[in-house]
Amino acid sequence: MKKKTFLIPVFPMLLTCFGGHLFAADEPSAANSSALSSSNGSKPNIIFILADDLGYNEVGVYGQDMIKTPFLDQLAAEGMRFAQFYAGAPVCATSRSVLMTGQHSGRTRVRGNAWPEDNGRQELYPEDITIAEVLKRAGYATAMIGKWGLGMPKTGGHPNKQGFDYFYGYLSQHHAHNFYPAYLWRNEEMVGLPNVVMPRGKGWIYGAGVASEPRVYAPDLFVEEALSFIDQNKDRPFFLYYPTNVPHSNNEATSIRRADGAEVPELGEYADKDWMLGAKRHAAMITLMDRDIGAMMKRLDDHGIADNTIFIFTSDNGPHRDHAEPMDFFEPAKPLYEWKMSLWEGGLRVPCIVRWPAVIKPGQVSDKVGYFGDFMSTFVEVAGQRSPRNLDSASLLPIWRGEPDKYEAPEFLYWEFHGRDVGMVALLDGRWKGTVRDDRPDHLELYDLKNDIGEREDVSEKYPKIAQRIRDFIPTARTESETWPPAVEVAW
C-alpha cells in the first residue's frame, strides 16, 4: 500500500481557551516542563497502544506462558509494569471515554455501550476535552489509528473534531468486530477495501459482518499507517493513539462457528499445537499484535527517538468469553475473578506497561494504584499545559520518575456500569472495594483486595466503619446525565 502524507497543522500556543474549551487557571510548572524535555528541548513523543478485550493474564510478563508476547515482555523489562491498574469501565465505549476525558464513568460523557451508535448516547460532544486536544494545544502532531467508538460521521464526536489531526480506522465498535471489513475511514472519507463482506448482525448498517473473500487484514493496515506517521513526524513531538481491535472477537462470525470469531490471517507458531482451533487463533491474534508493537519499537530505534518516547500498552477492559475454546483455556484473568462486562476485578483490572528510557528505570514493577483517567493529568504535566476542569485524574509522573511517595493518590476510584453486571463500585485506598448491584440496592459488598484478590469473601459486617465510608461516598461520586441515569438507586 502506498504510504500516506500526514499534513499536520501548527496551532497557536498562547491561548487560555482552546476550541471553545475552558482550562483551569493554574499556570503550568516551568520546572516540570523543562524537566520533561529532552536534551534538545523537545517534549517527549507518546505512543499509546490500547488492546481490545485483552485479559490481565494474557501477556507473558503478567504470567501467561502459552501465548507468546516477546516484544511486550521486552517493553516491560525496559520500563515499568503496574500490578494494580484499572480500565475506565468493564466495556469498551465507556472505558475509552474515561481515557479520553480524564473523568470517571460516573462523570464522563459516554457511560455505556449504546444502540444505535449514532443516537447521541455514545459520542463525545464538542465541549468535551480530550487528551488529544490538550496535546495538540501543546504543539503535538496527533493521530488516531484503529477503533474509535466515541462518535460517528458528521457528529461532534468524530476524532478529527476531538483533537486528532489524522484518523484512520473504524468509527463504529460493531464495524470493528470485522477484521476483514469492506471499508475503513480516513478522516471523514470512507475508503473501500477489496474484502467481500456478508452483512450480518444488528451492526450490519455500520459495516459489521463476515468476509466471504478475506483479502486485507485491518490490523496489517493499521501498523503500516502507524509506522508512516512515526516516519513523517520523527522531528517533532507526536501523539499516536493506537487502539487496535485485537483480540476482540468478530461476534458475527462467532455466531456461525465459535472459532471463526478469532479472525487472523495465519496461525504461525500455534499451527501445530494440540489445541482447539479457537485457542490457536486467539493466541495468534495476540502474538501478531505483539509483532506489530515490536515493529513500532524498532522504528523508534531506527530514528533514534526511543529514549524520549513514552510507550504505553494497556487494554480497554477484561477478557471476553466469545471465541476462546474452551473459554478459560488461557486463564486470561488469573488470579482475578470474572471477565469483561462485570464489575469484579477480572472485568476492570488490566495489564499496563510503560517505557520511557529517559525517565523510567528498567525492570520496575509498581504497586501503586492507577486507572485510565490518570493519563489526562499525566499528559497535561508532560506537555506543560493547563489542566481541563472537573477531572478525576492524578498524574502518574512521580511513579514513573521513581518517586512514588510524591504520587498524590486519590482516596477513592469510582466506576458505574449499565450492562450485564449493573452496579456501582468505589475502591478506597486501593484496598477496600465496595460494590452495590441493582438486584440488591440496599447492600454494599465489601472486599479486601490486599488479602482476597479473588473477591470471595464479603467483609462488610467485619469492617462496618470502612463499609460506611464507602456507602457515604458512592451517592456523591457521580454527576447527573440526561442520557445515562444512575446504574443503581441506592437504598441506604
Same domain (yes/no): 333, 192: yes
Domain membership of residue 10 (yes or no) is no
Same domain (yes/no): 36, 155: yes
Same domain (yes/no): 44, 113: yes
pLDDT tens column, 452-482: 999 999 999 999 999 999 999 999 999 999 9
pLDDT of 6: 36
Residue 236 pLDDT more than 50? yes
Q: Which of 380, 410, 440 is the last residue of a domain?
A: 410
pLDDT of 471: 98
Residue 220 pLDDT more than 90? yes
Which positions ≥6 away from 354 have C-beta within 8 Å?
A: 79, 80, 81, 82, 310, 311, 312, 313, 360, 396, 400
Give the dihedral of Cα atoms 290, 294, 295, 300; nearest 10 deg.
140
Domain membership of residue 337 (yes or no) is yes
Q: Kindly report whether the peptide bond that precedes residue 219 is cis, defined as omega within 30 degrees of 0.
A: no
Percent of the chain at pLDDT > 90 equals: 90
Residue 2 pLDDT more than 70? no
| Segment 329-342 mean pLDDT | 97
Q: How confident is the model at residue 42 (pLDDT cuts 50, 70, 90)?
A: confident
Domain membership of residue 486 (yes or no) is no
pLDDT of 126: 97
Same domain (yes/no): 266, 368: yes
Domain membership of residue 289 (yes or no) is yes
Q: How confident is the model at residue 324 (pLDDT cuts 50, 70, 90)?
A: confident
Q: Which of 410, 438, 465 is the last residue of a domain?
A: 410
Residue 145 pLDDT more than 60? yes
Same domain (yes/no): 189, 222: yes
Same domain (yes/no): 398, 354: yes
Residue 13 pLDDT more than 90? no
Overall number of domains in the chain: 2
Q: How confident is the model at residue 29 (pLDDT cuts 50, 70, 90)?
A: very low
pLDDT of 483: 94
pLDDT of 41: 58
DSSP bridge pairs for 82:
366
Domain membership of residue 399 (yes or no) is yes
pLDDT of 104: 98
Same domain (yes/no): 402, 438: no
pLDDT tens column, 433-447: 999 999 999 999 999
Same domain (yes/no): 302, 359: yes
| Segment 336-344 mean pLDDT | 97
pLDDT of 164: 98
Percent of the chain at pLDDT > 70 equals: 92
- Cβ 446 vs Cβ 466: under 8 Å: yes
Same domain (yes/no): 258, 129: yes
| Segment 157-178 mean pLDDT | 98
Distance CA 224, CA 186 (A): 14
Residue 26 pLDDT more than 90? no
Q: What is the mean pLDDT of the chain?
A: 92
Same domain (yes/no): 294, 433: no
Domain membership of residue 128 (yes or no) is yes
For residue 314, what are the domain limits? Answer: 19-410
pLDDT tens column, 347-364: 999 999 999 999 999 999
- The CATH code of the domain that includes 458 is 3.30.1120.10
- The CATH code of the domain that includes 56 is 3.40.720.10
Q: Which of 351, 376, 410 is the last residue of a domain?
A: 410
Q: Kindly report whether the peptide bond that precedes residue 326 is cis, defined as omega within 30 degrees of 0.
A: yes
Domain membership of residue 7 (yes or no) is no
pLDDT tens column, 57-110: 999 999 999 999 999 999 999 999 999 999 999 999 999 999 999 999 999 999
Residue indicated by cell numbers 492507577: 370
Same domain (yes/no): 405, 429: no
